[in-house]
Chain A
């Protein structure tokens, strides 16, 4: 988008980084950031006191925050895994690679499937019931079948994560097509569109907001199933790391695994959100004007 008229831009409010810095500065003058700090330290403090300070019964079995953090940043870890051990990154890389494969397959299959289901009623009538019958079966129930159907460790794990994502992506895409105002279809027809124009110019962009909501849920679900699958069967990955440290009674490593998982999961869903915002400038700008 080339900006042809500079005079219009000068009048516009600051955007992007400038706006972020402005908002950030403004929020420092309110209580919110300080209360946030209070909240987090309250939580960590309670955790510390219960586990390491007072060593309350049951709590004393869990690793405390000090123990976890010292282990995490220890160049020579007592239990084998910390920020400095290559195996830690190997677990992360392997889980991320699985998620990427599963998420890509699920998106490449699910989005077109959902779009066609929303676009053609006949296609939807034939495919939707099958999807609806399979959907209530929890992904974990597929584990034994996945192991039987695909040999090895890698394929079943990826299959499970893909399956979980696929349902979410397809359904959200379908919802997205259904959410498009009928008037857009009418207007497009009225302006002389052929069916393929309607598909490309109305169905696809119109369902993007829902598709990206779906993709965000889908990547969460993929992590959920991946962890479960890695815990049940698998040789590497964060889920395996957690389960393995539980088995070996190295509980500190287990907590490191959980926190890492949370962080990596958060980053991946933030990436999806970022991609969505890039592809839907029209929506981002309109929402920004509404003050959201």
Chain B
């Protein structure tokens, strides 16, 4: 599986602008943003709350239209002037901020859902594969439980499994570990790194935790406060596979220091503006 994926999932964002229009008052969420993400890269987007990171993700996933610019996936147009809203598809899998496992399905049924509705597998096959993949992720024995019965960490992990079972080109993660405590978070990070090392899927990861960004990413993109545009791009050259010991290396510390100022500046601007965050 690993070598097929390395050549696919390149995202190219070109001069994208997004203006929201609630109640006739225009709010610019993203302003002239360009970004290249090569296939198989982990791209981390960092910025203050409500700056427009999610808007960018929604544009790629096809939840929202964009006002100007184009987005390409593997050279094919996702959205642009001719079609402002990308089609939603199983090639780009989203893991949501608050978690979107269907609470009325067991974890196993949740994971098996994608292949069944897409018609690529029979029910029995899908359930078998789901159970297999959950077991591989170390949560096989809770496959028959409902999301409301397991810890947030387990739920989050199975949500990632639910995305991966569809063999996506890109994984879009919207602050997936936001509400977790630091200890659970570090476990989640390790498991995500493990998944990445296995699949080499392209990852578009939104966060406002700088250390998380540097620990996980190949590239960290710092965004300005609303309207969002690129402020700084940092390449993270820490070799893979990484583990928690990476966090204490000199290399890591230097990178954090380098980026911290830029992030802090934007966070302060956003705070002073004091606007209520867009959903």
Contacts and interface: CB of A to CB of B under 8 A. Distances in A.
Main secondary structure of the interface of A (DSSP, over half): helix
Given A5-B141, A187-B94, A192 B118 contact: yes
A186 B104 contact: no
Interface size band for A:
20 to 34
B144 A186 contact: no
B94 A186 contact: yes
Contacts, number: 86
Interface stretch (B42-50, B85-93, B187-195, B246-254): B85-93
A186 B141 contact: no
B201 to A, nearest CB: 15
Contact of A190 (B61, B146, B149): B61
Given A183-B98, A191-B93, A201-B102, 7 more contacts: A186-B88, A190-B61, A191-B113, A191-B166, A197-B117, A282-B104, A283-B148
Interface string B117-158: 110000000000000000000000110101111000000000
Which 4 pairs across A and B sit closest by C-beta, in order of nearness? Answer: A286-B148, A205-B104, A192-B118, A187-B100
A23 interface: no
B114 interface: yes
A206 B104 contact: yes
Interface size band for B:
20 to 34
A193 B148 contact: no
A76 to B, nearest CB: 55
13 contacts: A1-B144, A181-B98, A181-B100, A184-B100, A186-B63, A191-B166, A193-B117, A201-B113, A208-B104, A281-B146, A282-B146, A282-B147, A287-B148
A285 interface: yes
A208 B104 CA distance: 10
Interface in A34-80: none
A79 to B, nearest CB: 52
B102 to A, nearest CB: 6
Interface of A: 1-5, 8, 181, 183-184, 186-194, 197, 201-202, 205-206, 208, 280-283, 285-287, 289
Given A184-B100, A192-B118, A201-B113, A282 B89 contact: no
Contacts of A183: 96, 98, 100
B175 to A, nearest CB: 13
Nearest to A196: B117
B75 interface: no
B81 interface: no
Contacts of B93: 190-191
Nearest to A1: B144
A289 B148 contact: yes
B162 A190 contact: no
